[in-house]
Amino acid sequence: MKAKLPVGKLNCGLFGAGQFFNYAYVPALNQKDSALAVTGILARDDAKFDMAQRGLRYTTNHFSDTDALLASGLEAALILLPNHLHFATAKAALERGLHVFCEKPLTNSVADALVLKALAEKSGRVLMVDFNQRFFTRNRLLPGLVAQKRMGKIKSVHAFHNQDLRGLASFAALHRDRTGGGVIHNAGIHFINLFLHWFGAPERVRAVFENRALPHDCGEDTAHCEFWFRDGITATLDASLANAVDATYERVQFISEEGELNSDLKKGNIICQPTEKPQLKISCRPEIISDSVFNALEHFAACVKNRSRPETDVTDFIRTLKTVEALTLSAQRGTEVAFAEIENKYV
């Protein structure tokens, strides 16, 4: 028998009970020390609701209408819908005075994100975007480890994301009219957000986009991106949805004046290799997406309670999406693009 709805938690409505909810959010929400409780789930049919309800450790309520769930006495909305539905749902929630936690991307355009920013500021409600890479413990430690191990100034950072989606029976869910873009908009954006968090906005970017295997309607399936930041720091991002790998592969590499540091997100240890010194293994607890989701949701609940600004708020998202826009423009032109050009567009 399932437990009753937890009391004394942040009362949330779930919008989007698909596969990602079941494997990334259910383990996080089921932790007894979770600060949130899902009191209602928007699901198109009974089968989808039943699957979501079976996963949760407590009972909740089924809603088939967005307005009915928004009006059910919620404090906050958790938005896990397909990308093209994020903007309208977040807008409706903010207009009803709810706090909003939304999976990335918050919107598929900077213009729409600016609308939500104005709404959040007017309502005084918390609007947070889940960039899950930001809430992995290891990614919060990496830049500091370079300094801690006395490896000198960071010179460059290199990130890698690889998946193999070539064998999907249908690519309809990956079409740009639903997702907003290709691999950079939907996967690489996590590392772009990390770069900006670590180093600030880039001064300029360059990108090469390719379609190696997926239909053009899905946007680029492979990309090589370069970033130039202040203080001479550079970064690269190589991301693909069409590489022959058995499982999603993600890695970050820091190059410093006196060595390098490697973090493979699928492995426990961070490898530190100082120049002309023995290799160091820095033990890390292996983490999965549900760990980062738990951390992000706890941060969201604390921001709601304290009326404080989330780390990954709408302003953080807008800066990240402007960088994606600059990269897309660079790929179209075949030249470098100054970040100031995109900034000036939205003044």
Q: Which two tokens stand for residue 310?
A: 């989330």
134-288+320-345 is a CATH 3.30.360.10 domain: yes
Q: Which two tokens stand for residue 220?
A: 């680029």
What is the residue-averaged pLDDT of the chain? Answer: 94
CA 126 → CA 249, 285, 312, 320, 345, distances in Å? 33, 30, 11, 19, 27
Output the pLDDT for position 232: 95
Q: Which two tokens stand for residue 232?
A: 């001479």
C-alpha span between 60 and 115 (Å, rounded): 32
Output the pLDDT for position 44: 85
Confidence of residue 57 (pLDDT cuts 50, 70, 90): very high
Output the pLDDT for position 247: 64
Q: Is the pLDDT of residue 326 over 90?
A: yes
Confidence of residue 8 (pLDDT cuts 50, 70, 90): confident
- Please calculate the CA angle 195-197-198 and round it to the nearest 5 degrees: 65
10-131+294-312 is a CATH 3.40.720.10 domain: no
CA 276 → CA 158, 262, 273, distances in Å? 22, 16, 8
How many other C-beta atoms can be found within 10 angstroms of the C-beta atom of residue 167? 6
Strand partners, 270: 263, 282
- Full-model pTM: 0.95
Same fold, 10-131+294-312 and 134-288+320-345: no
299 Cβ contact partners less than 8 Å away, ≥ 6 residues apart: 128, 135, 310, 311
Output the pLDDT for position 335: 98
Output the pLDDT for position 150: 82
CA 89 → CA 16, 62, 121, distances in Å? 11, 17, 17
Distance of CA 114 to the CA centre of its chain: 18
pLDDT in tens, 114-169: 999 999 999 999 999 999 999 998 888 888 888 888 888 999 999 999 999 999 99
Torsion, Cα of 317, 319, 320, 322 (10° steps): 120
- Strand segments, DSSP code E, in the chain are 10-15, 36-42, 61-63, 76-79, 99-103, 127-130, 154-162, 204-210, 222-228, 234-240, 249-256, 259-264, 270-274, 280-282, 337-338
Q: Which residue has the tokens 């809603």?
A: 63
pLDDT in tens, 271-312: 999 998 889 888 887 788 999 999 999 999 999 999 999 999
Report the range out of 39-48, 108-117, 248-257, 286-295 with the highest average pLDDT: 108-117
Q: Which two tokens stand for residue 103?
A: 């999976």
Output the pLDDT for position 1: 65
Q: Which two tokens stand for residue 205?
A: 């970017």
Q: Work out the average pLDDT over 2-30.
A: 91
Q: Work out the average pLDDT over 170-178.
A: 94
Task: Give the pairing type, strands 36-42 and 10-15.
Answer: parallel
- The DSSP code sequence of 126-187 is -EEEE-GGGGSHHHHHHHHHHHHTT--SEEEEEEEEE-B-TT-S--GGGSHHHHSSSHIIII
Confidence of residue 269 (pLDDT cuts 50, 70, 90): confident
Output the pLDDT for position 72: 96
Q: Work out the average pLDDT over 199-213.
A: 97
Q: Where are the domains of the chain?
A: 10-131+294-312, 134-288+320-345
> Alpha helix (H) ranges present in 60-109?
66-70, 86-95
Which strands, in side-by-side order, build the sheet including 10-15? 61-63, 36-42, 10-15, 76-79, 99-103, 127-130
CA 15 → CA 116, 119, 324, distances in Å? 17, 19, 26
Q: Is the pLDDT of residue 7 over 90?
A: no
- The DSSP code sequence of 26-39 is HHHHTSTT-SEEEE
Could you give phi then psi for residue 87, rounded to 5 degrees?
-60, -55
Q: Is the pLDDT of residue 252 over 70?
A: yes
Which strands, in side-by-side order, build the sheet including 234-240? 280-282, 270-274, 259-264, 249-256, 154-162, 234-240, 222-228, 204-210, 337-338
Reading phi first (left if > 0) and then psi (alpha if -120 to 50, else beta), residue 231 is in: left
